[in-house]
Amino acid sequence: MKLNISFILFTCALTVTAVTVQAQQPNQVFKGAGSPVNPKVAMSWNRYNDHAGITDICKKIAAAHPDLCKLESIGKSYQGRDLWCLTISDFKNGGDVSRKPAMYIDGNIHSNEVQGSEFALYTAWYLTESFGDTKYIQELLADKTFYIVPTINPDARDNFFHEANNASSPRSGLIPVDNDRDGAVDEDGYDDLDKDGNIVMMRRKNPNGRWKQDTKDPRKMVQVGPEEKGDYELLGLEGIDNDGDGLVNEDGYTFEYDPNRDWGWGWQPNYIQGGAYKYPFSLPENRAVMEFVMKHPNIAAAQSYHNSGGMILRGPGGQEDVGTYNATDVRIYDVLGKKGEELLPGYRYLVVYKDLYSAYGGELDWFYGGRGVYTFSNELWTSYLMFNKGSDDDDNSGVDPSYQFDRYLLFKDAFVEWHEYNHPQYGKIEIGGFKKNFGRMHPGFLMESDAHRNMSFSIFHCYQTPKLSIDSIAEKDLGDGLKEITAVISNERIIPTHASQDLKFKIERPDYISITGPKVLAGMVVENRDLNITTEQKTNPGTIEVANIPGQGTVTVRWIVQGSGKYTITVDSRKGGILSKTK
C-alpha cells in the first residue's frame, strides 16, 4: 500500500499540537471569581484517577510550579506503589518551608472511599494555580506549608477501580489473609457474573416472595406488607456459592483489616476492635505516614478524607479516651468545626464516639493524642447535595431521592438495569442495582464544588495555625552598664504553639526565645508585667524556654544584659516557625 507522506506528517503535527497545547490564550478566557483562569496544568475535576493517574497529576503539578511544589515518595505500599507527597509552599519567600507552620492532608485510607484523593489533589492544584493572581494564597504560602498525600492505600484503590466491586468493597488494603483458616489465602474477590465490573444484586421471581417492585420506580425493590404476596425473592449480592454452604462470595473479602484501626493511639487487637491487624503501624502505608509526620514537627493541623455521610469528625474515637481532649483544645476544635459547617452545606460537625460509635486505633486520634495536632476526618458526600435539602425537608412524595437523582440528573447512568442471567445454582435470575460509583462517591458534576468547599475548610484550618510576631521591645537603663530588655511575643491565630495534649505529655520541646549580641546576665518569663512578677530561668538565660504561646495571646520575656550595641531577638517554635528582629 502506498502511503501519503504529506498526510502522515500533517496528522503527526496535529497530534503533537493536541498533546502540547494545554492552556488557552489569555484573551480567550475570562476569570470566574475564585477559580484559576488559565491553569498551567489543565484538569477536569469530574472524574476519578487510579494510582497511575494520581502519579501523572502529581508530577505535572510539581513540574509546572517548581517554586511552589516539591514531589517526593514517603514510602511504598505493600505491593510497591509510591506514596506520593506534594509539599506546597512559597519556596522563595518565608524561609525554610520545613520550619513554617504546616498542615498535613491525606485521603483514601479506605480503599472504597476514593474521592479524598481527588479532593487532596484539588487542594494542591488550586494552591499552585491560584498563587499567581490571588494575594490571599500568596500570603498563605509565604507563611504556611501544606503536605498533601493523595492516597495512603493505593493498592486497594486500584483494586476498587479495576476489579469487580460494589460501593462498599473492598474497605481494606490487599495484604493476603486466610479468612477461613483453611491454609489457602482468600483473595479472589467477588464473582462478577456478567463481567461488567460492578457487583450488584440478584433477584428471582417467586409468587410467594417477600419483595415487589416499587410502583414509583420499578427499579427499586420494596418489601411487601404482612398480608401481601410479593413477586420476587432477593438472593443477595451478585455471586456464586463456591463451597456449597449457602453463602455467596464469602471467599472474597470476608475478613478485612481496617487501615484506620492500625494507628498507635488507643489501639486494640482484632477480637476487641474488629479490623485491627497485627500491632500498631503493622501496615506499611500507615507506618510510612507516621515516620513522615515524626520527621516534620512543624505539622500543626491535619485533615483526613473519608466517605460518606457529610460529616466533619473529631475525636475521641472511644469513650474511654474522652479525657484526652482537654476543654481548652475542644474550644479550638469547636471554632474550626462550626466554621466548617458554614463552609460545607449539608455537613455536620460531630464527635466520633458520641455521635457515631467507638473506634480505636484511628488516625485522627493518633495525630491529636500522639502528636498534639488538631485533626479532622471529613466524611465526604452527603445526599443533601443531590437536591440541596436534607431528610427533614422531605416533600412526602414517597419517592426515593437516590432513584430520582439518578433518573433526572444522571440520566440513569448510575444504575445497572435489571437483566436476566442463567445462574449455575439458582437458575434463571435477574441482576441489577446501583453501580459501585454511586452511593458513596460524588457524581462527576458535583465533585469540583465539594472539593473546593472542603479545601476552603482546610485552608481556614491551616490559616489558624500559629502566626508569631515580636510585637514590642522595650529597654530600661539600670545603670552601671546594665540594661533591661523586655520583649512581647504574640500569636495572631487561634491555634497555640502547643496543644494541651502536647503540654500534658511534653510531646514537643518548648518554644525558644533568645537574645544574641550583649552579655546576658539573667533571663526570665514575665508572668505579670504590671506587678513585675517574673520567673527566672537560671540555666542558659540567653535562651528562654517558653512552654506555650497561646492562641490569640502573648508571652513576655525579659533579659538583664551588659553592654551596648545592636542585638537580635529570635523566636524558634516547632509549630510556630522562626522569626527574629534586630534592634
Supply the pLDDT for residue 16.
45
State the angle between helix axes of 444-463 and 327-343 in degrees (0 to 180), rounded to the nearest 10. Answer: 140
Instruction: Please give the Cα distance from 191 to 520 (Å, whole number).
Output: 76
pTM of the predicted model, to two decimals? 0.92
Instruction: Please give the Cα distance from 145 to 138 (Å, whole number).
Output: 12
- Return phi, psi of residue 332, to 5°: -70, -45
What lies within 8 Å, CB to CB, of 521 at 6+ separation is 482, 541, 559, 560, 561, 562
State the angle between helix axes of 51-64 and 154-162 in degrees (0 to 180), rounded to the nearest 10. Answer: 120
Supply the pLDDT for residue 17.
45
**Over 90: is that where the pLDDT of 12 sits?**
no
pLDDT in tens, 532-555: 999 999 999 999 999 999 999 999
Q: Which strand (E) or helix (H) includes residue 112?
A: none
Closest CA to 124 of 157, 85, 96, 97: 85
Supply the pLDDT for residue 145.
98
Supply the pLDDT for residue 564.
87
- Return phi, psi of residue 241, to 5°: -80, 95
Closest CA to 350 of 376, 368, 324, 329: 376
Supply the pLDDT for residue 36.
94
Supply the pLDDT for residue 320.
87
- C-alpha distance from residue 18 to each of 8, 9, 40, 125 (Å): 15, 14, 15, 22
State the angle between helix axes of 135-143 and 115-130 in degrees (0 to 180), rounded to the nearest 10. Answer: 110
Cell of 357: 460509635
Yes or no: say if 542 and 515 are a contact pair by the CB < 8 Å rule: yes
Instruction: Name the pLDDT band for 285 (thresholds 50, 70, 90).
Output: very high
**Over 60: is that where the pLDDT of 13 sits?**
no
**Over 60: is that where the pLDDT of 184 sits?**
no
Instruction: Please give the Cα distance from 510 to 546 (Å, whole number).
Output: 6
Residue with cell 414517597: 398
For residue 396, give the DSSP letter: S
Supply the pLDDT for residue 202.
96
Yes or no: say if 445 and 437 are a contact pair by the CB < 8 Å rule: no
Yes or no: say if 461 and 303 are a contact pair by the CB < 8 Å rule: yes
How many Cβ atoms sit within 10 Å of the Cβ of residue 69?
A: 23
Supply the pLDDT for residue 191.
86
Yes or no: say if 167 and 112 are a contact pair by the CB < 8 Å rule: yes
Instruction: Please give the Cα distance from 76 to 90 (Å, whole number).
Output: 27
Over residues 515-525, the mean pLDDT reads 97
Q: How far apart are the first and last CA of the chain?
A: 84
Instruction: Please give the Cα distance from 431 to 158 (Å, whole number).
Output: 25
Picking from 178-182, 397-401, 517-521, which range would have the lowest pLDDT averaged per residue?
178-182
**Over 60: is that where the pLDDT of 5 sits?**
no
Supply the pLDDT for residue 93.
94
**Over 60: is that where the pLDDT of 121 sits?**
yes
Instruction: Name the pLDDT band for 257 (thresholds 50, 70, 90).
Output: confident
Yes or no: say if 316 and 325 are a contact pair by the CB < 8 Å rule: yes
Give the chain's mean pLDDT.
91
- C-alpha distance from residue 214 to each of 223, 230, 397, 424 (Å): 9, 11, 13, 28
DSSP three-state, residue 501: helix
DSSP three-state, residue 24: coil
The 415-423 sheet, strands edge to edge = 221-223, 211-213, 230-237, 201-209, 427-434, 415-423
Closest CA to 87 of 312, 295, 307, 260: 295
pLDDT in tens, 122-163: 999 999 999 999 999 999 999 999 999 999 999 999 999 998
Query: What domains are defined for the chain?
Result: 46-159+259-381+443-463 (3.40.630.10), 176-256+398-434 (no CATH), 468-582 (2.60.40.10)
Instruction: Please give the Cα distance from 566 to 408 (Å, whole number).
Output: 72
Yes or no: say if 425 and 229 are a contact pair by the CB < 8 Å rule: no
- Return phi, psi of residue 200, to 5°: -110, -145
Instruction: Name the pLDDT band for 19 (thresholds 50, 70, 90).
Output: very low
Instruction: Please give the Cα distance from 434 to 384 (Å, whole number).
Output: 18
How would you class 355 by CB atoms within 10 Å of its CB: exposed for 0-12, middle for 13-18, buried for 19 or more?
exposed
Share of the chain above pLDDT 90, in %: 82
Instruction: Please give the Cα distance from 194 to 230 (Å, whole number).
Output: 26
Instruction: Name the pLDDT band for 396 (thresholds 50, 70, 90).
Output: low
Supply the pLDDT for residue 27.
84
- C-alpha distance from residue 144 to each of 54, 99, 531, 581 (Å): 24, 9, 37, 20
Residues identified as active-site: 379
**Over 50: is that where the pLDDT of 329 sits?**
yes
